[in-house]
Amino acid sequence: MTEENLPLKKEKKKPEGLVIPPKKPKLSKAERRALQEEQRAAKSTVPGEGGSRKEVKSIAIFEERKTQDRLAHAVSPAIPLSHPPLSSIKSTITKEKENLKTVSLFSHLIPYRDPSSVFINGATLKVFPSPPDYLHPAVIALGHRYAHGQIRGGNARCKAMLNCFASILHDYEPTSGTSSAVSDLRTILDHNVLKPSFQYWTETCRPHSVSMGNAFTFLKTAVASLDREMAWEEMRSTLLETMEAYAKERIDFADQAIADLALSKLNDKEVVLVYGHSDVIQLLLLKHFWANRNFRVIIVDNRPLLEGRRTLKALREAGVDCTYVLLNALTYVLQENVSKVLLGASALMSDGSVLGRVGTACVALAAHKHNIPVLVCCETYKISNRVQLESITHNELGNPEALLNEDDVLQNWKEIDGLKLLNVLYDLTPAAFVSGIVTELGIVPPTSVAVLLREMDQGS
């Protein structure tokens, strides 16, 4: 078939009313940039108000918070105290962060704050303008102890927080003349008593631990689940009983159960290695000794806190055979027929990794390389639903001055250009270095932490 015999293609008719716009002219780079600037300026302006949307939104949020604070102060108990507003605390932290010689890799973390910049004359706060009046004196006193490191350890800090809330509930009385609806009282208790106290400890004194965060979440849930028809006295007694039961069941009884479970894994004439201090491990070792077991304990410690001395003192007073070394001698003592390594934990991540005192990962890694079983003893209330892959994203910075000795050549480190001190408090131990995790619910592999978390969520 030749080209002349091919059928002609029918031209498609354009629909009536169709208007094809002309092609836009090609713009140069400078013209495109000018057009984008004009469009951006048009979008950012609100007609009739002469300001940007972000500015208008910020003003609205500020006015709303101002109204909430006015209402909150109208129904809060009259406890006049000198306390800085949270906004001034955050601005102070930002200024301190700019002035400190911080390591860039950890610059996103909250810098260590010298307690003398917050407290004067013991547990008295420095006076700040416009102090609110909703903090109980026990909150200030506990914050002072948190900031100075007088209370350390996840269990001790959590118990102290619950005891402080119990003191607040004993002294707190709803002001007269306010609404008597129980739902309002629950809101007042949450937003004017519990939440400000917890924010004060976290943002002013020291970042909270996972144990404190989980306990505070439990307490807020308990407040929200109270019966609307319940009187204030009954509400107070219910909350006090709930907090007391939480401390006994999730901490005290859990430690006893963990000690009994781990005791079944220890034999006579063993050499057990522990790191630092852990309440549950100390209880476990004392129970092992009271069972007339003949064994030896190697306590590995690390500067600057040297918390292992607490464990050493308790075990020696009981008569346990102990050896005390620092972390740099770990590889030497592991060759002394160490049969098991027992470690505590500040938190358990949902992927099975363990957040503990800095140096814990070194001990677990060395034991894993020597084929020594590593058992982590931890209560289930320390399990976090967070996943963490390294020790940098989420951590806490300690006092850099604590790394110095009295006659150290680094005493004037702040005046030396290019020299920075880093005191990281925690590290993350991968699940691959852990043989088993001992909880009050049983001994489980690290891969089963997510199952424990799911069961606990369903149970609650």
pLDDT mean over 232-261: 93
Q: Are residues 398 and 315 in the same domain?
A: yes
Q: Does residue 258 register a pLDDT over 80?
A: yes
CATH number of the domain where residue 173 is located: 1.20.120.420
* Residue 8 pLDDT greater than 70, yes or no: no
pLDDT recorded at residue 64: 56
pLDDT at 91 over 80: no
Percent of the chain scored above 70 by pLDDT? Answer: 76
Tell me, yes or no, whether 299 and 414 share the same domain: yes
Q: What tens digit of pLDDT does each residue of 345-393 get?
A: 999 999 999 999 999 999 999 999 999 999 999 999 999 988 999 999 9
Q: Do 234 and 199 reside in the same domain of the chain?
A: yes
Whether residues 237 and 129 fall in one domain: yes
Question: Do 211 and 286 reside in the same domain of the chain?
Answer: no
Shared domain for 300 and 401, answered yes or no, is yes
| Cα-Cα end-to-end distance for the chain | 83
The rounded distance, in Å, linking the Cα atoms of 323 and 363 is 16
Domain with 442 in it: what CATH number? 3.40.50.10470
Specify whether 313 is located in the same domain as 181: no
Residue 3 lies in a domain: no
pLDDT of residue 414: 83
Which distant-in-sequence residues (6+ apart) come within 8 Å of 136 by Cβ?
A: 79, 164, 167, 168, 171, 172, 193, 197
Number of domains in the chain: 2
- Average model confidence (pLDDT) for the chain? 81
Give percent of the chain with pLDDT exceeding 90: 45
Residue 18 maps to a domain: no
Same domain membership, residue 247 and residue 210:
yes
Reply yes or no on whether the pLDDT at 12 is more than 70.
no
Containing structural domain, residue 203: 68-252
The residue with tokens 């027992």 is 342
pLDDT at 226: 85
In a domain, 28, yes or no: no
DSSP structure class, residue 396: -
Q: Which residue has the higher pLDDT, 450 or 12?
A: 450
Q: Rounded to the nearest 5 degrees, what angle is found at the Cα of 371, between the Cα atoms of 366 and 375?
A: 75
The more confident residue out of 154 and 95 is 154
Cα 217 to Cα 85, 211, 303, 381, 427: the distances in Å are: 23, 10, 33, 11, 24
Query: Do residues 180 and 284 share a domain?
Result: no
As to burial, measured by CB atoms within 10 angstroms (0-12 exposed, 13-18 middle, 19+ buried), residue 292 is exposed
Q: Work out the average pLDDT over 51-60.
A: 49
Boundary (domain end) residue, out of 226, 252, 278: 252
Q: What is the pLDDT of residue 71?
A: 44
Identify whether residues 150 and 295 lie together within a single domain.
no
Q: What is the mean pLDDT of residues 296-303?
A: 95
pLDDT band of residue 128 (cuts 50, 70, 90) is very low
Closest alpha carbon to 438 in 446, 430, 426: 446
Residue 273 has pLDDT above 60, yes or no: yes
> Are 102 and 238 in the same domain?
yes
Give the pLDDT band (50/70/90) at residue 122: low
Q: Which residues face 348 on adjacent strands? A: 354, 383
CA distance 260 to 265: 9
What's the distance, CA 24 to chain centroid? 56
Q: Which of 231, 252, 273 is the last residue of a domain?
A: 252
Of 252, 284, 310, the position where a domain reaches its end is 252
Of 196, 191, 308, 210, nearest to 250 by C-alpha is: 210
Q: Do residues 159 and 239 share a domain? A: yes
Answer yes or no: is pLDDT of 75 > 50.
Answer: no
Q: Is residue 217 part of a domain?
A: yes
Whether residue 97 is predicted with pLDDT greater than 80 in this model: the reply is: no
Q: Which residue has the higher pLDDT, 315 or 452?
A: 315
- Over the stretch 383-439, which tens digit does the pLDDT of each residue have? 998 899 999 999 999 999 888 887 777 888 888 888 888 999 999 999 999 999 999
